[in-house]
Chain A
């Protein structure tokens, strides 16, 4: 299907999608002392919503063919790319819109949340949004690196926001050290590819590498680029910074991180693979699939196990996020358009659900001055709406039909079947059941008062966090701006799943197919010098997978199983089971020491491993 005809010319919209948030951020950073408090919040939210609208328009109008836009007017000259381009496609624009939605929700939530920083957090959030849009739309490898670093810098600062306490500071340090090393790896990878191919443009690099054999330099470039992005995506063993950062960052910031930042790491991995490395001669697709799937499965399982072991609600959600990132990597690692489409829809649905969960936990922290599941036992009375939000969020994460994540899950299952890897579906199901079960267990303990009274249990690990409101001694009734956004996000997930956009599965699959087509991309970017355009093949989407009875039953089964896990976890008679599990996974818990030296060591080890595996897969 062709794109939507635009009344305003495309260049204006593409430029505006980054110019608007950047200009807004500059105004917030430079002139917030001029504006009254309400004006700052209003302008920031308006800018975020405008950016969301612009990227949604781009998503609609680029379906069918990518929109290539050359900055500063520098089109390729004689087959060599000189300038920097944006290659707008529906998948990238869709991720950018997701970033916009989450940023808008976070800014609304922030209305009564941040009060001592005079508009600078608005600037940081808006810069984060602009950088995410650039990250998703760019067609230039160095521009991708710059956007990567910009996202990182604003994220480091936002994590350490509550600078008066050691936990956010330590989280921010761990985050900053590991992720800036990741940035260095990415830059080295960019340098290696430039030295070999003479270009910084994704399409041109891919064209130069097509048909060539991968030697040591290409393998190392692959390992450095992919490894650097996998650090951002918090994949085992690069993930140790995530619980420290997400567990201590302010709640609205967690929304941005959990919903879109780590997912962008995976986006970059598959983007670089599809445009640059997939055309190498001698690539063994099954082996590369195995490498990515291996990392994905490890991450999904480790995240789920660690989530079950947490009583600190924010750290629990951090590990739930990590587990789901592993699932997306499984979808992406199948290296098929169907898998990528399923992962994309899962990313959207889960982002909305995870954000609702974080915002709900924020309300609990605001009202009860604690994020410890044990201390909050039975104290959920009076917060009924939030309780419903959290339970619903956990069920959506378990792929409750008809929310959009169940549509994504169905596509992912089909992709796994097509790739003859049905056992991955079991891994996905188990991880989802365990991580949602952990959240439901917490909800059951907090709202229903179930589970034994374990307050006598010695407190180990990360301390409880009573939140800024309690510390400043100002406990107010919970404002609507904190209660409504999570519900709104869940409503969007519901609407999308029900068919707010008709044929969502088909659109997603078409978008993924266009994303994965290296030759067509090169032709679109490089024009007549890009080589012959192959006849486009349509990827067959199995008829209405979302409505298939089998899919719905599986998803309902997952939901029920998650509820059972929660029930077992709270059952006083199952204490022997819990003790056995704790004993068996103690080594995994002890590895998460929160010490930056350990985390960097694992990063180095992971890079070496990735290089070795890449050598095997690219030959």
Chain B
């Protein structure tokens, strides 16, 4: 289709879709009104039954834990897929960035930038760990904390250079953490099965509400997801950085 024809067809379709969506949205209960009984039941039950204060975490890792298992594998699949898509191909080679003028060294990063990077990345790691481990008590959890942890690597890259970053994250370690995180979730799920209950049942001791360790398997799953997400995003960082800094077309 010519661009004009495409635009005409789209305008017509968009107008029709606007009407359609409008009709659908008009049927929704009024904004800010009552919430569903499913939600109300969970808000009442979760703190009592699971000894957690963050109900969203309880839903994510307990009541609807099987959804999160597949969500975790969406991330694993995406990371594996990107590793496949960005791998060095047969006409490419890996070559560390080197200064073309052999008699000069790459100037080291300025002390101010370096200091800022150290400070920020430490802060990010601490925040990330806090978010992961307190997922049962306050908003947060494995996914959110894992991303914060992984972003520390970007800060290190910005403050130093590629070679330093590579030294901090050997590829097998990252892949292993990814794999451990993903299989850890499955293993914890099987624990429930072994204990005679359903897959992903919460069979570990529930602890006292308000303690960092409470909620049974929920903090364990948080930890495991945090490991997987952090490892996954770190792999992503390394893959995209490789494409810009390291992978070059092979000169025949």
Contacts and interface: CB of A to CB of B under 8 A. Distances in A.
Interface of A: 11-12, 14-15, 19, 22-23, 25-27, 29-33, 69-74, 77, 80-84, 116-117, 120-121, 123-124, 127, 130-131, 134, 140, 142-143, 146-147, 149-150, 153-154, 156-158, 160-161, 163-164, 192, 194-196, 198-200, 215-221, 223-224, 471-472, 591, 593, 595, 597-598, 601-602, 604-605, 607-608, 611-612
B123 interface: no
Contacts, number: 236
Contacts of B10: 601, 604-605
Interface centre among A73, A84, A158, A593 (most CB of B within 10 A): A73
Interface stretch (B70-78, B129-137, B143-151, B156-164): B70-78
Interface string B75-92: 011111111111101110
A163 B85 contact: yes
Given A198-B36, A215-B27, A71 B77 contact: no
Interface centre among B1, B71, B79 (most CB of A within 10 A): B1
Contacts of B29: 195
19 contacts: A22-B186, A26-B76, A29-B175, A29-B182, A33-B171, A71-B198, A80-B38, A82-B38, A82-B41, A82-B42, A116-B87, A124-B84, A130-B70, A146-B71, A150-B73, A195-B29, A198-B37, A199-B38, A601-B6
Given A124-B77, A471-B90, 5 more contacts: A30-B176, A30-B180, A84-B64, A157-B81, A604-B17
Contact of A72 (B20, B27, B199): B199
Interface in B168-214: 171-172, 175-180, 182-183, 186-187, 189-190, 192-193, 197-202
B252 to A, nearest CB: 13
Contacts of A216: 23-24, 26-27
A157 B186 contact: no
A611 B179 contact: no
A157 B28 contact: no
Given A82-B41, A598-B6, A15 B80 contact: no
B9 interface: yes
Contact of A157 (B45, B82, B172, B180): B82
B13 interface: yes
B38 A26 contact: no
A563 B45 CA distance: 66
Nearest to B23: A216
Contacts of A130: 70, 73
A473 B71 CA distance: 40
Contacts of B83: 117, 120
Interface centre among A19, A77, A117 (most CB of B within 10 A): A19
